[in-house]
Amino acid sequence: MNLEALRHKLASNLSPPRYEHSLRVMALACKLARHYQTPEEPVAIAALLHDVAREKNGAELLSLAENYGLTIESTDQKAPVLLHGKVGAEILRREWAITTPSILEAVAVHVTGAPRMGMISELTLLADFAEPGRTFYSAHIARELAFVHRPTALKYIFTQKIRYILDAGYLLHPLTIEARNQLLMGETGSE
């Protein structure tokens, strides 16, 4: 399926606001891909489709994860929305014929982040947090930082996400902490 066909299919799978968000994530991720001189198409596909499973409810996400044989951690069990990345990646592999591992990884990890993410995952996560429809202040900062220094932008996003989750009293997924720790420990100019 080409990008146009994927867009069309996604539009019939998501509510209009979520679809619009997906288009904005794709646009920003593509800008970042050009900035970092990395092939644009896989970034566009991952960013466009990252929330394919976001509108499934908790019970659906849990039963799909179970049917697909995915590892369901205790945090996922308590907060099934955390599964929408991993379940989304499986849906794309099984029903959308998306087979590129780096695209599937980007969709799978966009919710929690993960240590040592690939470029497509990093750009998808950055764009998801920083797309211009996000009007909170930290999204604005992240949008600026994303074009200056990727690891700093990612570290900033994880710090913001963790703060938000703690303040709201939500469950914090261990991968988010691991992702941030890895960035803190690996600050030796990998760019």
Binding site for Fe ion (CB under 5 A): 51, 54, 128
Containing 178, the helix (H) or strand (E) segment is helix 174-185
- Of 54 and 56, the one with the shorter C-beta distance to Fe ion is 54
> CB–CB of 49/98 below 8 Å?
yes
Q: What angle do CA 63, 92, 158 make, to 5 degrees?
A: 80
Q: Tell me how long the chain is.
A: 191
Residue 180 CA to residue 28 CA, distance in Å, equals 22
- Of 73 and 191, the one with the shorter C-beta distance to Fe ion is 73
- Of 110 and 185, the one with the shorter C-beta distance to Fe ion is 110
Residue 79 CA to residue 172 CA, distance in Å, equals 10
Q: How far is the CB of 54 from Fe ion (least distance, A)?
A: 5
Q: How far is the CB of 38 from Fe ion (least distance, A)?
A: 20
Q: How far is the CB of 21 from Fe ion (least distance, A)?
A: 6
Residue 88 CA to residue 18 CA, distance in Å, equals 14
Q: How far is the CB of 158 from Fe ion (least distance, A)?
A: 15
- Of 54 and 86, the one with the shorter C-beta distance to Fe ion is 54
Q: How far is the CB of 113 from Fe ion (least distance, A)?
A: 12
Residue 5 CA to residue 48 CA, distance in Å, equals 12
> By three-state DSSP, how is residue 55 classified?
coil
> CB–CB of 95/89 below 8 Å?
no
Q: How far is the CB of 47 from Fe ion (least distance, A)?
A: 9
CA 45 to chain centroid = 12
- Of 29 and 145, the one with the shorter C-beta distance to Fe ion is 29
- Of 29 and 183, the one with the shorter C-beta distance to Fe ion is 29
